[in-house]
Structure 1
Amino acid sequence: MLGTLVGAAVGAAVAVAAAPVALTAMGFTGTGIAAASIAAKMMSAAAIANGGGVAAGSMVAAMQSAGVLGLSTSTNIILGAAGAAAAVLI
C-alpha cells in the first residue's frame, strides 16, 4: 500500500514537472514561438488552414498561452491525477 502511494506521488510530480519542459522543447517558450521548431511548424500549418491566422482557442493558441503564462492550477491538478493513475497502473 505504501509503495502504491509513493508511486502515485512520484507519478504526479513527474507529470506536473514534465509538461512545461515538453512545451519548451517543442518551441512554445515564454517569449513566443521559437523559430524552426515544432511549434513554428504547427503555427504555420494552422495559419494556412485558417486562411492566414491562428484561430483563438485552437490547440496552437492554447499551447502558446501555456508556454508564455504557464499551466493553470486546474491543468496541473489534471496532469497530477493522470500521472498518479499511470504510475499506479504501471
Structure 2
Amino acid sequence: MSRGQIIGITAGAAAGAVLLAPVALSMAGFTAAGITAGSMAAGMMSSAAITSGGGVATGSLVALLQSAGAAGMSATATAGVASVGGAAGALVSGAVGFLKRMRK
C-alpha cells in the first residue's frame, strides 16, 4: 500500500467520523428536541440520574452528549472526533498493508 493510499484512507476516515458523529448522536437519542423516550440515551440518562441521586451531573458523559446532540459539536469535540477517526483509518490501512505483505 502506498503512502498516498494510507493518507487517503486516514483522511477519509477522519472526515467520515466528523460527518457521521451528529447522525450517530441522533440515532442514539441525543437530539435537538431533547433525549428521545425509549432510546439508548434515555437509558443512559436514567442510569446517570440513579447514580447521582436523581439528576444528571454537569459535565457527565450524558450531559456532554446531549449538549452535542442539541447544539452540535464544538470545535474541540470536532477535532477530537476527527483525530479518533483518522487514527482508526491509519490503523486499518496499516493492517491491510501488513496483511498484503504477509500474503506475498
**Equivalent residue for 2:88?**
86
Q: CA RMSD of the aligned region, Å? A: 1.1
Max Rg structure: 2
- Give the secondary structure class of the aligned counterpart of 2:56: coil
Query: Deviation at 1:46?
Result: 1.1
Question: Per-residue displacement from partner, 1:23-76 (whole Å, max 9, x unpaired)?
Answer: 111100011000111111111111112211111111111111011011111111
Residue 35 of structure 2 corresponds to residue 33 of structure 1: yes
- Give the secondary structure class of the aligned counterpart of 2:68: helix
Give aligned-pair identity as a percent. 49
Distance 1:86 1:78 in 2: 12
**Equivalent residue for 1:23?**
25
Q: Number of paired residues? A: 90
- Give the secondary structure class of the aligned counterpart of 1:35: coil
**Equivalent residue for 1:71?**
73
List runs of 5+ in structure 2 lacking aligned partners. Answer: 93-104
**Equivalent residue for 2:95?**
none
**Equivalent residue for 2:54?**
52
Distance 1:62 1:3 in 2: 35
- Give the secondary structure class of the aligned counterpart of 1:48: helix
List runs of 5+ in structure 1 lacking aligned partners. Answer: none
Runs of 4 or more, structure 1, over 6 Å off, are: none
